[in-house]
Every structure is written in C-alpha cells, then in structure tokens.
Amino acid sequence: MFRNYVKLISFLPVFWMICVSSAHAKYASFIINENTKRIYHNANADTRNYPASLTKIMTLYLVFDALKSKKISMNSKFKVSKHATRQPPSKLNLSAGSNITVKNAILALVTKSANDVATVIAENLGKSERNFARLMTRKAKKLGMTRTTFRNASGLPNQGQLSTARDMATLGIAIRKNHPKFFKLFKTKSFIYKGIKYTNHNNLLGSYSGTDGIKTGYTNASGFNLVASVERNGQRIIGVVFGGKKARSRDKHMVTLLNKYFKTSLSKPLVRIAKPSELPKIRPKIVMAEKNIKNFRIPPKIINNIIPNNVEEDWFIQIGAFKNRLNAHKAARNARNIVPEQLGNLPASLSKITKSSTNNNLQYLWRVRFVELAENQARSVCAELWTSGLSCIPLPSNNNS
C-alpha cells in the first residue's frame, strides 16, 4: 500500500502539468526578419503549445509539394469520405461521396479554415489522416522545426499535437521561400464555393499595410494564434503570436509588435516629400474669394481615400432578440460553433430589453450581441453566420439602437 502511495505522489506533478497545459493557453510570441534572420522579439518562443489551425500551414505545404512535383494539379479532384464530413466546424459542410478540386480545397483552408477539407486533403494525399500527420511531422523535422509534432491535418484538439512560435515562424519562412507561386494564395480575402462567399479569418489582410499572409488558429486549449507575413520596402518580417485571449486583442498585439520594427506606422498615410528639383520654378498665383473658401467642400469619396479608416473603432454584432433567455444562450453558442476562429471563447453580451406589443403591453426580450470587434472582423463574422442561416447585424459601438 505504501508503495502505491509513493507511486501516486510521484505521478501528481505530471498529472498537474497535464491539467494546466490542457486548461490554459500559453502565451508566446516571436518576431524575425526573414531577410537578415535577425530575431527582434522572443517571448516563450520555444515553449510547446497547441498550434490549432496554424497546423493547416503544414497541410498546405504538402499540397504545394504535390503540385510542384506534378503529382496533382489545381483541377485534380479529392474524394470526400464520411469521416471527413463528421469533422466539427469550421467546415464547408461537404457531403460524403462528393468531390472537391484541389484549388477549392486550398482556398477553403486559406479563408474558411475548413476542418472537413483538411481531412479530405490528408486522406487523398496520405491514404489516411494518421499517415498524413506522420508525413507532416517528417517534413517539419526536415525544415528544422525540431519541437513540432502533428497528429492531424486540421489542428483540432489532440494532446500530442504541439509546436512552438519559433517553429511556426520557420514554417512561415519556408513555405514562402520554397513555394512562392502558391504562397500568394494566402492573401486571398474571400472565395465563393457553391454560391456561398467565405471570408478570410486573417484580419490583418487589407488593414495592416504590407500583409500578404498567412494563417490564424483557435481552439479552447490554444487560445487565439496567428502567423503573419508583412513586407515593406524590401524587408519582410514574420510574426507569430500564440495564446491570445481574443481575436481582436491578438491582432492588436501583433500590430504593436510589428510596428516596433517598421519605420512607418499603419495609422499614418504614406506621404512622399518632393525633391527640390521636382518643385515648380515659378510659384503659381492662387486667387480665391473668401466666400468661396467658406463654401468649398471636399467630396466624401476624396476624403475616404485621403484619410485612412479608423481601425481602432469598436464594432459589435447583434444576432437576435429572444423571448427565452435559454434560447438566447443557444444562439450565442451556435454562433461560436459556426465561427470559432473569430468568436471562440468571446463572451456574449445578453441584455434584457422591452418591446411594446400591439395592445400596449410591455414585452421583454433577451438581446444577444458580441462586442469589442474590429469592423472587418464584425462584417466577416456576419457573412459566415448569414451563410449558415443565422441572423446577424454588424454595427459600430456608437450605435446604441
């Protein structure tokens, strides 16, 4: 009995470590200059964490390998298995026995981060997802990702699927260097499949100057992850963040880190000062009556082009108002399940509101909102919820209606 007690005591620290690592996402970040290989920032960069959908970068790497070697083409068709259709969201909701082209499969991973498509790729290229994961791990070791192990092609929860911020930066550099032709697909902002438009989850695309990739990731265990590739003035920086609490705070943190190493900030428009030789020799005479100055107005379209959008403005989405509070909670949960990489563990804001009925009696409703979103994130989330049959309205926070 004493011997069993000793064994139990010796196992407790290990058990505790497993519980903690499973329950809490570990923060890590890493910033590196791809050109010079200079490391600008390192915080827990070698700590092994759950990569979540960053895993799909390696899945795509093997797809690009197959395309480069002419084993497949963009028009090749992958068959969808019943097992693939059973993967949880995010997904395209493929049907068993159907086919999807390689091109659409790539775009589904880049934008929608579809888990069912990741499994389809694994089964068609590796015969089974388990075997494909072995190929992924083998490729990782070959690229120098010494602390990375893959167990599936999607990044869905698995205690044995681990990587580091440094390893993910290595992968980000390698996939662009070895597959520059296909890397361009990572900046695809949206794609349409069977009449439904899917928007890229990478909110830095189009909002942070020079961003051309590459991937976001989220599970409860990992938190919000991001690998970003940004090129300005011939210099390319790769940034990695693991364990963000929210998608927006993760994005803000990434921008803060990147801004430290780029001379020009996102929030300021680029203005080139003319050289003396470019200035006119004779200063033109400008005559304008005072009354005309007062009446002069810049067209709104011109203002929008000159003044950059305020990317810091808070937005929210409203997904409905319900008579029953339980139904309101269900609606919030459904929204998170449909768009986990954007909403994830973001708490829903439930508020009790009154509504007048036809007989002037007050009716109480539970209004459901998700707050503290960026504008592009709010619009992207609503687009995905609409395609799934849920109502959604994106609004700026100054709209209190």
Known catalytic residue at 56: yes
> Is position 351 annotated as part of the catalytic site?
no
Instruction: Enter the tokens of residue 326.
Output: 């339980």
**Number of DSSP helices (H) and strands (E) in the chain, helices first:** 13, 13
Q: CA neighbours within 13 Å on the CB side: how many for 193?
A: 25
Catalytic residue among 29, 56, 215, 380: 56
Whether the Cβ atoms of residue 48 and residue 147 lie closer than 8 Å to each other: yes
Cα(74)–Cα(103) distance, integer angstroms:
5
CB 380 within 8 A of CB 203: yes
Whole-number Å distance between alpha carbons of 65 and 301: 45
Short-list 208, 133, 197, 157, CA closest to 23: 157
Long-range contacts of 279-284 (CB under 8 A, 24+ apart): none
- Which position among 29, 81, 113, 209 bears the catalytic label? 113
Beta bridge partners of 39: 32
In whole angstroms, give the CA distance from residue 22 to residue 401: 40
Q: With beta carbons less than 8 A apart as the criterion, state whether 262 and 234 touch.
A: no
Per the annotation, the verdict on 265 as an active-site residue is no
Please identify every residue annotated as catalytic.
53, 56, 113
